[in-house]
Amino acid sequence: MNKEIATPQRTKAVLEKYGFSFKKSLGQNFLIDSNIIRNIVASAGLTGNSGAIEIGPGIGSLTEQLAKTAEKVVAFEIDDRLLPILEDTLSPYQNVNIIHSDVLKADVKAVIKDNFPNGQDIMVVANLPYYVTTPILMKLIEEKLPIRGIVCMIQKEVADRIAASPSTKEYGSLSIATQYYAKAETVFIVPSTVFVPKPNVDSAVLRLTMREKPLVDVIDEEFFFTVVRASFAQRRKTLLNNLTHNLFSKNQKPLVEEALASAEIDPKRRGESLSIEEFARMSDALYKRLK
């Protein structure tokens, strides 16, 4: 039996065999620590009946451990140079389907329908490229896929922002956009030393557990997120200033003040001090008066 892929020696041998060079533009950093990979897989709570979706399998280090644990693994790989490598490294596993595609352009719902039976327990488990972490996560969350959740390795700073609580400097529109749809928690921190090439920052494993329904009820979801983004446009400004500068006109200021009063929100507060429930109240009050 081959040694596990996620060791420094095996990774080096695979890269040399194929003359593979890392593309900075694709944010490629491969994990070379099997224990960390096993911890990532354990964090996803997979069983022999689960399905797993991976994004950016690289040379198959995480894919291998997912294949040993889940019933089936589907992995999206954008870099065609990695396809023959994956065919080689994952040859012992018959339950892996590699899709050569950019996940941001893929119809993930259709892929799930084609690869997994209806109602199967499905988790997304991935070591995400830092430069596209947020767009990938938002796509997976907003498309309301039939998944239990997402366990992903991302830049620690982004994980901190996603899992942040109100009145912290990390808390912002990304925290709210994610927590509206999912429960977010940082599972563990990963040092930069367990990757090749070594990134400049530490990583964190983030677990998102999808909610059966959003955390709050709002009249208009799109408007709610627009209000949230406007409230954080300039963090040092008050809600009233941010809303009248970035979303409504100065002439609408009296209506904005009325809406905030009816939602029992002090106009002098800053966006970072509001809970998601308060944002929901405020956005509904603004919607009733200004839409």
pLDDT of residue 262: 97
pTM, 2 dp: 0.94
pLDDT of residue 28: 85
pLDDT of residue 7: 94
pLDDT of residue 24: 77
pLDDT of residue 2: 60
pLDDT of residue 247: 95
Q: How far apart are CA 124 and CA 73, in angstroms?
A: 10
Q: Please give the structure tokens belonging to residue 231.
A: 């409230």
Cα–Cα distances (Å) from 164 to 29, 104, 117, 156, 218, in that order, read 26, 25, 35, 12, 21
Could you list the mean pLDDT of each consecutive 10-residue stretch along the chain, which spans 291 residues? 85 95 84 96 98 97 98 97 97 98 97 97 95 95 96 96 97 97 97 91 96 97 97 96 95 96 98 98 96 80
Could you give all domains of the chain from N- to C-terminal order, each with its CATH number? 8-210 (3.40.50.150), 221-290 (1.10.8.100)
Q: Are 167 and 151 in contact (CB under 8 A)?
A: no
Residue stretches of the annotated binding site? 29, 31, 56, 77, 102, 127
Beta-carbon contacts of residue 221 (< 8 Å; ≥ 6 apart): 214
pLDDT of residue 1: 45
Q: How far apart are CA 90 and CA 251, in angstroms?
A: 63
Residue stretches of the annotated binding site for S-adenosyl-L-methionine? 29, 31, 56, 77, 102, 127
pLDDT of residue 167: 97
pLDDT of residue 291: 80
CA dihedral 54, 56, 61, 62 (to 10 degrees): -30
- H/E stretch holding 126: strand 122-127
